[in-house]
Amino acid sequence: MKKIGIIGSGTVAQTLGAGFSKHGYQVMLGTRDNSKLAEWKKGAGANVIIGSFSETAKFGDIIVLAVKGTVAKDALNLIGKENLVTKTIIDATNPIADAAPIHGVLKFFTNLDKSLMEELQELVPNANFVKAFNSVGSAFMVNPSFESKPTMFICGNNENAKKEVSVIIDQFGWEAADFGMAESARAIEPLCMLWCIPGLSKNQWTHAFKLLKL
């Protein structure tokens, strides 16, 4: 089974780390400060180890990028681009600006003509970024119990990478909807804004998107 390197120590990294471990994957979480994960590690099981950003990228056959959007490019530099060559990178980041939401609508530091994932893909052209897990709260990322299977919208330039990520999405109890190439992240990243509106304006956080088809 493929090894998973998760760059991050926040709620997304911890949730996906536990999820991959539950599904039998070997997992490493990468942080600049191991002490942040000391408590979490105690309950995370034997499949999970902690390392630096670069150790984690070297360890993973598949990488998950789960850092704050404003520092995602810095994180790639800390990881070392050479450690990402040909790897599938599940990009869970969102380009949320350090500014207050307006009437529940988050501010982005990107615009609709260029997504964060396209910028990251340009920075590491020989890695295979796949946008996923960005449009739902961490509480529902792994095997959620909605009345029907929620849809995870994904995109990226490499077909094999998207297939690889779709298998994981299926294991995690979601249906993957492949919405095209990296440019489609211009539409998928703002789904996080839409998802957060009921939460930020009415404190309702228990929903997910579903694509209906004929």
Ligand X SMILES: NC(=O)c1ccc[n+]([C@@H]2O[C@H](COP(=O)([O-])OP(=O)(O)OC[C@H]3O[C@@H](n4cnc5c(N)ncnc54)[C@H](OP(=O)(O)O)[C@@H]3O)[C@@H](O)[C@H]2O)c1
Choose between 88 and 134: whose C-beta lies nearer to ligand X: 134
Choose between 44 and 66: whose C-beta lies nearer to ligand X: 66
DSSP tag of 143: S
Exposed, middle or buried, 40 (CB in 10 Å: 0-12/13-18/19+)? middle
Cβ atoms of 78 and 53 within 8 Å: the answer is yes
Choose between 152 and 161: whose C-beta lies nearer to ligand X: 152
Closest residue to ligand X: CB criterion? 10
Smallest distance, Å, CB 15 to ligand X? 8
Strand partners, 89: 63, 129
Smallest distance, Å, CB 66 to ligand X? 4
Question: How many Å apart are CA 32 and CA 52, to the nearest integer?
Answer: 6
Sheet of strand 27-30: strand arrangement = 48-51, 27-30, 4-7, 62-65, 88-91, 128-131
Smallest distance, Å, CB 214 to ligand X? 29
Cα end-to-end span (Å), the chain: 36
Smallest distance, Å, CB 105 to ligand X? 15
Chain residues in the site for ligand X (CB under 6 A): 8-13, 31-33, 36, 66-69, 71, 74-75, 78, 92-94, 96, 134, 137-138
Choose between 64 and 127: whose C-beta lies nearer to ligand X: 64
Smallest distance, Å, CB 60 to ligand X? 15
Counts for the chain of helices (H) and strands (E), in that order: 8, 8
Choose between 3 and 68: whose C-beta lies nearer to ligand X: 68
Smallest distance, Å, CB 123 to ligand X? 14
Spatial CA neighbour of 153 closest among 179, 171, 181, 173 = 179
Question: How many Å apart are CA 189 and CA 96, to the nearest integer?
Answer: 10
Choose between 22 and 36: whose C-beta lies nearer to ligand X: 36
Question: How many Å apart are CA 110 and CA 62, to the nearest integer?
Answer: 26
